Amino acid sequence: MFEKFLTGKTAIITGSNSGIGLGVAHRLAKAGADVVLNSFTDTDEDHQLAEKLADEYGVNVRYISADMSKGDQCRMLVEKAGACDILINNAGIQHVAAIPDFPSEKWDAIIAINLSSAFHTTAAALPVMREAGWGRIINIASAHGLTASPFKSAYVAAKHGIVGLSKVTGLETAREPITCNAICPGYVLTPLVESQIPDTMKKYDMDRDEVIEKVLLERQPSKEFATTDELGDTAVFLCSDAAAQITGTTISVDGGWTAL
């Protein structure tokens, strides 16, 4: 249905050398979009990943290094890309601790990377989209943008902020051919989550299946992980003409988490 309909469009995806960001990059490239991958690492593997995506889908794929904790680099990413029809704000980090024990530097870093970066990239991208006469901004929020869990104060605050920013951006562009929405995933089986499973098995003295069902997916009624492909396809849909009147809102991909 959506095969190659994004040909000629350029998508910038922050935090996209692995996990959700990379999954979204695959789906947008498959739909014909040129892609700008991003992380702060700037390794040979990052550039090789861009080359591999370009070869696989026959689109232009570049890697641009930028530190999403720094506002000037967030804006530089958009400027250096030279075009931005689709902006996917995905970069994020996590830290878990009770509020009295939460390190100030961790709070500052999470707010900077998970929330402030999206403000800076959006501020830089909107003039470019307005000049082009079309744009899609998709913020990767979380089920924690709509609900909360203990010990995740900074992450929950940032993701609630992303939802609010998406609403404001949607309102400010409501009379233009530009939309802004937030995708709110539940647990997604990314390499980062996968790497946490063995330690969690030891901590709770459970096998892998028990850890997934009773710990990781405790609040996810489907008892299944969302996939990066599902999130990528949701992003592709939001870029389509069918989603032209969907703006300033959230789409949950959480197996029923926020229905509870």
Residue 252, amino acid: S
Q: How far apart are the first and last CA of the chain?
A: 33
Q: Using one digit for the tens of pLDDT, what is the confidence trace for 8-27?
A: 999 999 999 999 999 999 99
What is the average pLDDT score of the chain? 97
Report whether pLDDT(1) > 60: no
3-state secondary structure of 217: coil
Residues 6 or more apart in contact with residue 163 via CB below 8 angstroms: 139, 141, 145, 146, 182, 184, 250
- Alpha-carbon distance of 216 to 168, in angstroms, equals 32
- Alpha-carbon distance of 260 to 25, in angstroms, equals 31
132-149: average pLDDT? 98
Cα–Cα distances in angstroms (integers) from residue 243 to residues 149, 163, 227, 229, in the given order: 31, 18, 21, 19
Give the per-residue pLDDT at 132. 98
Q: Looking at 57, 63, 155, 187, which residue is catalytic? A: 155
Q: Kindly state the percentage of the chain with pLDDT values over 70.
A: 99
187 is catalytic: no
Give the per-residue pLDDT at 191. 86
Whether the predicted model's global pTM rises above the 0.85 cut:
yes
Q: Compute the CA torsion angle 98, 101, 103, 108 (nearest 10 deg).
A: 40
Report whether pLDDT(247) > 60: yes
Assigned token pair, 257: 């988490």
Domains of the chain by start residue, with CATH: 10-187+226-253 (3.40.50.720), 189-225 (no CATH)
Give the per-residue pLDDT at 2. 61
- Alpha-carbon distance of 228 to 24, in angstroms, equals 7
Q: Using one digit for the tens of pLDDT, what is the confidence trace for 29-77?
A: 999 999 999 999 999 999 999 999 999 999 999 999 999 999 999 999 9
